[in-house]
Amino acid sequence: MVTAVPSLDSPETGAVPVPETGRREALAFAEVYRTHFEFVWGSARALGVPLSALDDVAQEIFVVVHRRLADFEGRSTLRTWIMGIVLNAVRRHRRTTLRKSPHERQAEPADPEELQAAGADPYEAAAHAEETRLLQRILMELDEEKREILVLIELEELTVPEAAEALGLKLNTAYSRLRLARQEFERILARRSR
């Protein structure tokens, strides 16, 4: 059976005939996109993708998710599976950027003023902005492996087994890397606090 799938923008226009299974897959992807967009965008940003490239990297991630969603076997959570795609896309972006522009070694930090919580009083907003700037600077000083494990566990709140799976690490290696990342984070924080 073939049905018309309406575009997401308009219920009547842009209908494209697709098989019924294609309709279910399109609807499933739309739900995955809605549910995980903020997670993908925030994770890519925390992993060092500059704001100027963030939309492109997020789009690339969801193109891969769309293409491979039918292959998802459920051996992990969907979020962990998507995080593996995020990590690969961020690494690919970093390699491409460094190859094309070797002088671009640091991502520009996000404007903490844009990240402040709605309804915060000016003092709280200023404190939040300063804390965000400090966190960004410290994360950029960490090597890629330590930054990835720290972002996944501390910011994205994945469990260590989930982070190990997303990073393709053995569980003990993930625990060891997390311990080293936390120690390095504390050293940098102490140095900056002097």
pLDDT one-digit tens code per residue, 174-190: 999 999 999 999 999 88
Mean pLDDT over residues 34-46, rounded? 91
In this structure, are residues 25 and 31 in contact, taking their beta carbons and an 8 Å threshold?
Answer: no
CATH of domain 123-194: 1.10.10.10
Q: Which segments of the chain belong to CATH 1.10.10.10? A: 123-194
The yes-or-no verdict on residue 46 having pLDDT over 50 is yes
Q: How far is CA 104 from CA 95, 96, 108, 132, 136, in A?
A: 11, 11, 9, 22, 16
CA distance 56 to 58: 5
CA–CA distance from 1 to each of 6, 19, 21, 23, 144 (Å)?
A: 16, 6, 9, 11, 49
Rounded CA separation 126/165 (Å): 37
CATH 1.10.1740.10 intervals, the chain: 14-108
The residue to which tokens 């000083």 are assigned: 141
Interval 133-168: pLDDT, tens: 778 888 888 898 999 999 999 988 889 999 999 899
| Pair of tokens at residue 75 | 């051996």
Helices within 47-159 (DSSP H only): 51-68, 78-100, 112-115, 122-141, 144-150
Q: How far, in whole angstroms, is CA 60 from its chain's centroid?
A: 12
Residue with tokens 């996109």: 33
pLDDT for 103 equals: 55
Q: What is the pLDDT of residue 21?
A: 53
Residue 176: its pLDDT value, please?
96
The CATH number of 14-108, from 1.10.3720.10, 3.30.565.10, 1.10.1740.10, 3.40.50.150, is 1.10.1740.10
Taking 50 as the threshold, does the pLDDT of residue 124 lie above it? yes
| pLDDT of res. 186 | 93
